[in-house]
Amino acid sequence: MTRLKALLAVSVVLNIFLVAAAVGGVIWLTSRPQMIAAGSLRIVGSELPAAERRAFVAALQNTRRTLRPAAADARQARSEAARLLRQPKLDQAALAAALERLRGDEVKIRTAIEARAVAFSATLPLEDRMRLADSMDRPARPRRFKWWPF
């Protein structure tokens, strides 16, 4: 019977440790400021006050909404390039054209998003722009797993 009690005590301690580790991990992940993602481009805005951050995200979302045709064309060009690579005989000219179209669309999207970010930054007070500048100097954190809910 004492062996069973010892196993039960070890099990309780282990479970408490695991629950505490999980809670600590969730707190750590949710308390860090997040980068604002803008497609494949990561734009810094997490250091802004909540009202400005919401306005910044809304401005970027509006810009992305207007760029949906370019994004669809980029996806189509990427699919075309993949299809061409799977062919038994590679058509280099067609592949180069598809990649050129993809690159052009991605540059168009990035340029528009960056222009919107610059225009928004011009409306911010110096203190908020200093926060943005400081966050741009720091290296980006690694991306989180997509399945994580936070």
- The structural domains of the chain, with segments of one domain joined by +, span 34-137
Question: Of the given ranges (3-12, 92-101, 135-144), which has the lowest mean pLDDT?
Answer: 135-144
Q: How confident is the model at residue 106 (pLDDT cuts 50, 70, 90)?
A: very high
Q: What is the mean pLDDT of residues 27-41?
A: 59
Distance CA 9, CA 3 (A): 10
For residue 39, pLDDT over 60 is answered with no
Comparing 18 with 38, the larger pLDDT belongs to 18
Q: What is the mean pLDDT of residues 128-148?
A: 67
Distance CA 128, CA 49 (A): 8
Say if residues 102 and 78 touch (Cβ distance below 8 Å): yes
Residue-level pLDDT at 40: 39
User: Where in the chain does DSSP place strands (E)?
Assistant: 36-38, 41-43
Distance CA 14, CA 137 (A): 41
Strand partners, 36: 43
Q: What is the mean pLDDT of residues 50-77?
A: 89
Amino acid residing at 141? R
Considering the chain, what percentage of its residues have pLDDT values greater than 70?
A: 80
Residue-level pLDDT at 144: 54
How many residues does this entry show for the chain? 150
User: What average pLDDT does the chain have?
Assistant: 81
Comparing 1 with 12, the larger pLDDT belongs to 12
Distance CA 104, CA 74 (A): 8
Distance CA 36, CA 34 (A): 6
Residue-level pLDDT at 54: 84
